[in-house]
Amino acid sequence: MDYERSERSAGSLTLPTAIKILVAGGFGVGKTTLVGAVSETRPLRTEEVLTESGVGIDDLSGVEGKNTTTVAMDFGRITISDDLVLYLFGTPGQDRFWFVWDELALGALGAVVLADTRRLADCFPSIDYFEGRGTPFVVAVNCFEGSRRYKLDEVQAALNLDPDVPVLLCDARQRQSGKEVLITLLEHAMKAREARRSG
Amino acid sequence: MTVSGESAEERWVDDHAGPVVRPYAVTRGRARPVAGKFDLISLVTATRTEPGPEMGLGPEHLAIVGLCQRALSVAEVAAHLDLPVGTIRVLLGDLVARDMVRVREPYAVHGLPDDSVFEAVINGLRAL
Ligand SMILES: Nc1nc2c(ncn2[C@@H]2O[C@H](COP(=O)(O)OP(=O)(O)OP(=O)(O)O)[C@@H](O)[C@H]2O)c(=O)[nH]1
Ligand SMILES: [Mg+2]
């Protein structure tokens, strides 16, 4: 078989670069819904197999006899241009798997913390995590029917957020709304970088 | 030729093996890639359209080459092949070692991108 023919000329092969944003929040708050609403395909799912001890991800050597756990992550893709692809990752369950969060958060542009005002405390661990890491984040209040409308500054106060952290309402099912959340996050992340540089 | 260079009779195929058997089998028992570190969002692009049959690769390797005719992340490859990410990393290592795919690491690896990248994403999202 003639490989030369099927091989692309290396020079013309421009490889795009990827970036990511995380979508976090409590159980059932709409993370996967938001990822799906703004992504170009339905949310995809990927799994990491972990040994029970939680020592390194992927280390399956000598795995026989050990219990393994599977951590699933939902994610979606938005192709920004030929050079740039944005991935959105829904974070897996909040109370375990922090080391998976560490892998996901590494190099993320920022995070969206989804909140449900009926269960506001559910997003505390996510907020604590991103504050602790210094990852820029916004809080998006997903407006489920039947949830009392809080004023955004009430939510801000209840969450004890730094006043710079944007808090906004959203409908995780709506693409337009999801886009606005992401744009707010990116603008906030840029400002946070600026502040860090000059401060 | 086998990918791993090990004998074809693989010891790990036994009745007591747990739920990781299939992924483990696909990599012939290897937990680590021979080449490369693959971030979840490292982008993989095939360097050719069709690998030859003599390359000694498994069907999963060939499926990756087929999928990566356009740039896909490691996570996407794993999702499409329905295999754990660790397994995909091993298979990608084999392909990188044969120069059958190119891998572009995300910005994260070299520190955060500059403002122009943020602006490009914002403009790209607005245009969606
Ligand atoms: N009414 C209403 N329902 C929503 C909204 N967002 C999500 N839902 C519904 O809420 C349920 C949970 O949404 P998911 O997107 O699966 O939530 P999740 O955060 O990914 O859930 P886990 O991954 O299980 O933690 C689904 O049935 C959604 O259809 C919303 O804005 N309004
Ligand atoms: Mg989900």
A27, A33, A45, A144: residue to mutate for ligand 1 pocket, most atoms within 8 A of CB: A33
For residue A43, the one-letter residue type is P
Ligand 1 pocket, residues with Cβ under 6 angstroms: A 27-33, 90, 142-145, 171-173
Domains parsed from chain A with CATH numbers: 14-198 (3.40.50.300)
Q: Whose CA is nearest to atom 2 of ligand 1?
A: A144
Q: What percent of chain B has pLDDT over 70?
A: 76
What tens digit of pLDDT does each residue of B94-119 get? 999 999 999 999 986 556 778 899 99
Token pair, residue A111, equals 């995070």
Rounded Cα–Cα distance for residues A140 and A24 (Å): 10
Scanning B60-119 for CB atoms below 8 A from A yields 71, 73, 75-76, 78-80, 84-86, 89, 102, 104, 106-109, 112-113, 115, 117-119
Rounded Cα–Cα distance for residues A164 and A191 (Å): 10
Tell whether pTM > 0.95.
Answer: no
Cβ–Cβ under 8 Å, residues B27 and B46: no
End-to-end CA distance of chain B: 48
Cα B97 to the center of its chain, rounded Å: 12
Question: For chain B, which residues make up each domain, given as ranges?
Answer: 22-109
Q: Do B19 and A68 touch (CB under 8 A)?
A: yes
Rounded Cα–Cα distance for residues A55 and A50 (Å): 8
Q: Describe the crossing of helices B59-67 and B74-81 by its angle, rounded to 10 degrees.
A: 120
Within 13 Å of residue A99, how many CA atoms lie on the same side as its CB? 12
Cα A118 to the center of its chain, rounded Å: 22
Q: What is the pLDDT along chain A (199 residues), one digit of tens a residue?
A: 434 333 444 444 567 899 999 999 999 999 999 999 999 999 999 988 776 554 444 444 444 445 677 888 999 999 999 999 999 999 987 666 787 888 889 899 999 999 999 899 999 999 999 999 999 999 999 988 777 777 888 899 999 999 999 999 999 999 999 999 999 999 999 998 888 888 7
- Judge: domain B22-109, CATH 1.10.10: yes
3-state helix, strand, coil in chain B (%, to 5): 45, 10, 50
